[in-house]
Amino acid sequence: MTGGTELPDQIRQFAIAEVRLGRAKPFGPGTARSAIDKHPVTTSLLATALGLEGDEQADLRHHGGADKAIHAYSAEHYPKWAHDLPEAATQFRTGGFGENLVVEGATEADLCLGDRWRVGNALLEVSQGRQPCWKLNIRFDVPDMARRVQATGRSGWYFRVIEPGHIKAGDHASLEERPAPDWPLTRVTELFYKDRLNRPALIAFVALPGLPESWRTLAERRLRSGEVENWDSRLNAPREALA
């Protein structure tokens, strides 16, 4: 593996503690809308190519779609956030990051790009980590929350739905395929946000099958230009959202 980073021993099972759905509605003091406020559901839900039945996204340019069908977040991160930001500790509870699946027993270090997990009778594929945006700043009332999420790598991740099926709280996820064991999500975070112009790693990343087109384009642009893109518009809330 390029760069000599030691890989963790990835797990092969984890649990779904909660399944959550949300509807798009006004968000924050400005004109923004969001479906980040998702609530737990106890019934079994159908996972389709575009997400969980009954779930919504407000900004379809940046959220939803086949590559971001289902968002998962590790329950293990919430106590860490409460420790880091004690003034906002009461806000760090499951569902805070707008996840569809609250995961117990796994973090970004334990899942690799392209992993295929059987959850209920659905087959899900790890498509990408979440790139945090400014809505988290408003959600938690922490002005630099998105930057903190990016820096720590506690971002959560997205699944594609390879085989539609039903998922419910209490299901266990079992690993069926791991085509890219050298690419845990933590390595992608390291490449995107820290070791950002590591050419051998970028070349290896671009060669991975099944990458979302936006990620492949980002890596190819860095290889061509030798420059890193500006993240300000993603991480800083626009004026109309704060009005």
pLDDT > 70: what percent of the chain? 93
Q: Which amino acid is at 49?
A: A
Residue 70: exposed, middle, or buried by beta-carbon count in 10 A (0-12, 13-18, 19+)?
A: buried
CATH number at 44 reads 2.40.33.20
DSSP string for 87-127 = GGGGG-STTTT--SEEEES--GGG-BTT-EEEETTEEEEEE
pLDDT digits (tens, 9 = 90+) for 163-219: 999 999 999 999 999 999 999 999 999 999 999 999 999 999 999 999 999 999 999
Is 180 contained in some domain? Answer: yes
- Determine the angle formed by the axes of helices 185-193 and 199-206, rounding to 10 degrees: 130
8 part of a folded domain: no
Does residue 6 fall inside a structural domain?
A: no
Give domain status of residue 7, yes or no: no
- Residue 3: inside a domain, yes or no? no
Rounded-to-integer distance, Cα 187 and Cα 118, Å: 23
| pLDDT at 119 > cutoff 70 | yes
pLDDT tens profile 26-84: 988 877 889 899 999 999 999 999 999 999 886 656 566 899 999 999 999 999 999 99
pLDDT, tens digit (0-9, with 9 covering 90-100), for 139-148: 999 999 999 9
Domain contains 102: yes
Give, in order, the Cα–Cα distances in Å from 243 to each of 23, 28, 30, 237, 238: 22, 9, 5, 10, 9
Q: Is residue 193 part of a domain?
A: yes
Cβ contact 169:18 at 8 Å: yes
Q: Residue range 217-224: average pLDDT?
A: 98
Q: For the chain, how many structural domains are there in total? A: 1
Provide the pLDDT confidence category of residue 1 given band limits of 50, 70 and 90. Answer: very low
Percent of the chain whose predicted confidence (pLDDT) is above 90:
83
Mapping DSSP to helix (H, G, I), strand (E, B) and coil, where does residue 121 land?
A: coil
Domain span at 184: 13-242
**pTM of the entire structure?**
0.93
Q: Write the DSSP string, 218-239.
A: HHHHHHHHS-PPP-HHHHS--H
